A = this chain, B = another copy of it.
Amino acid sequence: MRGEYDAELQQVTRLLVAMADAVRAAMSQATASLLAGNRELAEQVVAQDALIDNSHGRVEERVYGLLARRAPVALDLRLLVAALHIAADLERMGDLAANVAKVGLRRHPAPAVAASLRDIIARMAAVADRIAAKISAVLAAPDMAPGRRPADGRPAESIAVDAATLGLDDDEMDRLHEGLFGVLLGAAWRDGVEAAVDGALLGRCYERFADHAVNAGRRVYFLVTGRLPQKIGDLGN
């Protein structure tokens, strides 16, 4: 029975890895559509968000089933509750990618990103992509597989490092976000109200995307170490 149970837990983890990959691709495509003014790609990102929402529902169904049928304890219980939280964060990250694509669609065929903001938006997108890649890697790490926890109870080096660097990535995102506001509220701003509002909303999407990713990372960290950092920021400090 344990083998069957482990197989079911593994399926949950696999669904999460697939969600993380989908969310990463969605944000990457959303940014590409935004910067290139590619309407078809933007519409595709918006349409595919329903698939990510659907995956979220499937994680929930499986977790409910496992909780009800198996009454798990200890690490298994923590894995399942963490899976619910991580799936919720990933779904929200998908929504934020769709929001980025929608900002581009609202202005199409005019560009939604002012020339003076292109560089900083591209850098925020790069940090978002790096963070999403880490979430995916951490979820796919062998330590996440049931029964594979290191014998001494300490987290695998790779997960601890990824969790710690997520906090640093988030700090970098916060600095870029502040820099973005510095530009669009600065005295040199000549691109008007609409571009400033779009820039502010886009900045918020990338910043929230990173926050949710760090939240998900915090859950994985908790799962592996059994300790929950008091605040999100504590991960990186």
Contact = CB atoms under 8 A, between A and B. Distances in A.
Q: Is the interface of A mostly helix, strand, loop or mixed?
A: helix
A67 B73 CA distance: 8
B204 A194 contact: no
A151 interface: no
Contact of A88 (B63, B67, B88, B194): B88
A74 B68 contact: yes
Contacts of A5: none
Interface stretch (A37-45, A77-85, A131-139): A77-85
A81 B64 contact: yes
Contacts of A68: 73-74, 77
B84 A64 contact: no
Nearest to A231: B53
A192 B184 CA distance: 12
A128 to B, nearest CB: 18
Contact of A67 (B81, B181, B200, B201): B81
A71 interface: yes
Interface residues of A, number: 29
Residue with the greatest number of chain B CB neighbours at <10 A, chosen from A53, A201, A231? A201
Contacts of A197: 181, 184-185, 196-197, 200
Contact of A84 (B85, B184, B196, B231): B85
A55 B84 CA distance: 19
A110 interface: no
Residue with the greatest number of chain B CB neighbours at <10 A, chosen from A67, A77, A78? A67
A145 to B, nearest CB: 21
Given A53-B231, A68-B74, 19 more contacts: A64-B78, A67-B67, A67-B81, A68-B73, A68-B77, A71-B73, A81-B81, A81-B84, A84-B84, A84-B85, A185-B193, A185-B197, A189-B193, A192-B193, A193-B193, A197-B197, A200-B200, A201-B204, A204-B204
5 contacts: A67-B77, A81-B84, A185-B194, A196-B197, A200-B201
